[in-house]
Structure 1
């Protein structure tokens, strides 16, 4: 007879089997989502009434040249075969060449994406550092004038178009008051003296101990970061208030108050601690939205990020660049969703069951 492995060993095997199934399920979901993203970008590129061959060689090129270029680009093959080629190249990081810059699309994205990450990161930090305390304050003062003031402030930030705020901010703080620098990432005077290393200009300036360049970079980024951060703060503030209202009505809050704990400890040490678990997902999604939704802000401020790159590519019908940029943004969005899910499971032990 086979010996009984014991309840502890059986529980361990069951837990390992469950974890393996969760990892397999998560991997399958991510791969399916990414494949769907590839399919969407591919068919969008084929449905749009733009002939990439005509853009590349010109409308008046000889027929022989058009057919030769079409064959070189693989556009004369069946649609299913084109999709297989597209997926294979995309998996290898080959998105083709940009008609606008004549560079490989991936190289352009590597150069532009750090600017978007830098802007979105500062905006999200501002949104979280300001939005969470305001949301907590509004929940504690529920129904009072302070709550109404915070909700109005958040509603304005969530409703007013960001590009309109950008134009207004440039008019007031740059053109009239001169408190901030104008469009761009750095002054023209540093074009030949400042050397980008990582692509994150603030970090590069610190690494090179170029404090004049650091001041210039900060003067350029502060206004767009604050405006995007205002939008992020509005969303985080509203969600924090909602989560805190739900937590403040729980029985453990009543028990904590009955034990004589101070209101400060009850709110910030107990209620907010539990509300931070779903807030992790909110902040991650807000960060993803800023990464993909900073197109208008980058256009207004001439910020050389991925959003401006995609916009300029759209205006010149550079579909390789548009689809490559869209695919990268979608992949980042999927990755941040996966990261937020993992953090949620780490912070909340109940979700591991």
Structure 2
């Protein structure tokens, strides 16, 4: 146990250079963006003197090196700066909006797992069948179709044509009241409050954006599940288990799928990170009040602090997800070392 704790600590230390690199790159790239935030906030009719005063108030009249050390000093104290577009601290904005993004991401990933893993297993056990061709079709569609196109298509079909889905405007319809804040996840908080009406209202709003993300995530998960199962089914230990007369369910579940789950679990970590990035477009299409839509608004306004806070939050989430996957791999298979 002590050895694993040391190894986890080593992984955390190895992640520090990556986080530092993200801080530097995000700082430089945000200042390389076209547009001047001083002009944006001074107004289009402002004169040069007013713009200069705004630039000085924002600290943009200093050199990049001075601005970077001021930013990192504030960062170490937990201050991500003030969002110029909303007038609130960036950390408060991120913590307020993060539950909405996480709820959408978890819903999309969960939907993708429920469809992709059984589909990949069935496709591997029946190569060349119609279900194998269906798996390939869904994988191709998930890879080829952009998330914003999928979202607009689902919205047009189920909301505009069929009228089955509610208006795609946020996390809950205007006739319902958000549940009391506990976790920030509307589905969880409504269940904790015992309010099934709010739960169903939140779930209906979540279905279309989650399906959009789910189709995007389905492709790599189904493809990896199929490939890993085909590799496991052709291995010596599976052939030996079949030769010993073990039941088909035992061979598939205990021997084949358990070994195939390792690369699938690794893929889930990467897919989760990709979904956090794909949230940006999906949230904008469905007016979802998450950190993705906040980042786009900040980018348009050249809001440096907000953009840097968003990039840093995504980088930290990526590090946490990958560390969690490493730990889970050792639980599933002790042969896997954390260094791998």
**Normalised by the size of structure 1, how large is the TM-score?**
0.88
Partner of 1:346: 331
The 8 Å contact of residues 95 and 104 in structure 1, kept in 2 or not, is answered as yes
Q: In the superposition, relative to structure 1, how do residues 251 and 233 fare at CA in structure 2: closer, same or farther (>3 Å)?
A: same
Q: Does 2:199 correspond to 1:209?
A: no
Residue 176 of structure 2 corresponds to which residue in structure 1?
190
**Pairing 1:79–2:88 present:** no
Give the drift of 1:64: 5.6
1:63, distance to aligned residue in structure 2 (A): 5.5
- Give 1:198 deviation, angstroms: 2.7
Q: Which residue of the other structure, out of 278, 302, 306, is the alignment partner of 2:287?
A: 302
Quote the Cα distance in structure 2 between the aligned partners of 1:124 and 1:138: 20
Structure 2 stretches of 5 or more lacking a match?
none
Following the alignment from structure 1 to structure 2, what is the Cα–Cα distance between the partners of residues 243 and 117? 28
Structure 1 range deviating more: 259-268 or 307-316:
307-316
Q: What CA distance in whole angstroms lies between the structure 2 residues aligned with 1:25 and 1:297?
A: 36
In 1, the alpha carbon distance for the partners of 2:203 and 2:288 equals 13
Pick the aligned partner of 1:335 from 320, 326, 333: 320
The within-5 A match list for 1:108-123 is 108-123=93-108
* 191, 198, 206: which one aligns with 1:221: 206
State the distance in 1 between where 2:9 and 2:186 align: 39
CA contact (8 A) 2:238 2:251 kept: yes
Aligned counterpart, 2:80: 95
Residues in 1 aligned to 2:43 and 2:78: alpha-carbon distance in whole angstroms: 27
Rounded Cα–Cα distance in structure 2 between residues aligned with 1:54 and 1:147: 56
Q: RMSD of the TM alignment (CA)?
A: 2.3
In structure 2, relative to structure 1, the CA distance for the partners of 1:245 and 1:318 (3 Å cut) is same
Q: Distance in 1 between matches of 2:39 and 2:99?
A: 32
Q: Once structures 1 and 2 are overlaid, which stretch shifts more, 302-311 or 319-328? A: 319-328
* C-alpha separation in 2, matches of 1:166 and 1:61: 40
Unaligned runs of 5+ in 1: 1-11
| Distance in structure 1 (CA, Å) of the matches to 2:40 and 2:282 | 28
Write out aligned runs for 1:12-27 (5 A). 20=6, 22-23=7-8, 25-27=10-12
Q: Using the alignment, how far apart are the partners of 2:137 and 2:8 within structure 1? A: 43
| Higher Rg | 1
**1:144 pairs with one of 99, 121, 129:** 129
- Deviations 1:290-322 (Å, cap 9, x if unpaired)? 112111111111111111111222233323222
- Give the length in aligned residue pairs: 337
Tell me the SS of whatever aligns to 1:351: coil
Separation of aligned partners in 2, 1:190 and 1:150: 38
Higher deviation after alignment, 47-56 or 241-250: 47-56
